[in-house]
């Protein structure tokens, strides 16, 4: 939501490139009661992000996701249907998890989300089947790159390819940092005095 607002404010002055980061790298069955208790912590970002919606505590009765990998692979697959489809799928994943409290590690759920994004679920499944290994490798490459940058917080922004801003910040902070980077780059590329 904040990144969407940042893009709206700065337009073509910024290029947003989303990357994968696995919160749960290995499949793990979670104790539902402990997970429900954990989801009460979502109240803090819910209070800080007025444009986002959260259902807290987890209330759907659905099991928690076992791993982050299936949703990340499906998100990468959605790119094959175009940038608009990937953006819509991204937002729909967030809604499915944080608002609807669905298990987004379940491929049937991911196919249903694709269908809700006007992607043909059968075609989406075929893309996943054909490209699953390559897409998983892309997810792991993104994740490993983040680990090498010492990124541990979600979300994290990497500005200019190297400056890491960990954790959620308000839009004004992001905008100020991006504008400073743009100004510095413009200053470096400007010709010096004769």
- Span 101-127, pLDDT tens digits: 999 999 999 999 999 999 999 999 999
pLDDT on residue 29: 80
Name the nearest CA neighbour of 35 among 136, 109, 105. 105
Domains of the chain, earliest start first = 1-15+151-194 (no CATH), 22-143 (1.10.472.60)
Residue pair 101/67 in contact by the 8 Å Cβ criterion: no
pLDDT bracket for residue 194 (50, 70, 90) = very low
Average pLDDT across the chain, whole number: 90
Category of 169 on φ-ψ map: left (φ > 0), alpha (ψ -120 to 50) or beta: beta
The mean pLDDT of 39-56, rounded to a whole number, is 83
For 84-105, what is each residue's pLDDT tens digit? 999 999 999 999 999 999 999 9
Residue 68: the pLDDT is 93
Percent of the chain at pLDDT above 70? 96
| The pLDDT value given to residue 192 | 44
Write down the pLDDT at residue 119.
96
Given this model, what pLDDT does residue 189 score? 55
């Amino acid at each position: 939501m904040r990144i969407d607002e940042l893009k709206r404010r700065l337009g073509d002055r910024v290029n947003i490139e989303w990357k994968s980061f696995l919160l749960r790298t290995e499949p793990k069955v979670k104790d539902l009661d402990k997970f429900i208790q954990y989801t009460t912590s979502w109240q803090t970002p819910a209070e800080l992000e007025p444009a986002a919606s959260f259902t807290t505590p987890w209330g759907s009765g659905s099991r928690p996701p076992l791993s982050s990998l299936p949703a990340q692979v499906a998100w990468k697959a959605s790119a094959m249907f175009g940038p608009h489809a990937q953006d819509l799928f991204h937002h729909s994943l967030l809604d499915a998890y944080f608002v609807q409290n669905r298990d987004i590690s379940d491929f049937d759920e991911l196919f249903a989300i694709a269908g809700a994004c006007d992607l043909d679920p059968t075609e989406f499944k075929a893309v996943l089947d054909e490209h699953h290994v390559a897409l998983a490798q892309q997810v792991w490459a993104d994740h490993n790159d983040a680990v090498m940058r010492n990124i541990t917080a979600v979300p994290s922004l990497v500005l200019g390819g190297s400056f890491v801003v960990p954790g959620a910040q308000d839009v004004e902070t992001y905008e100020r940092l991006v504008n400073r980077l743009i100004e510095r780059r413009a200053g470096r590329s400007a010709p010096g005095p004769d």
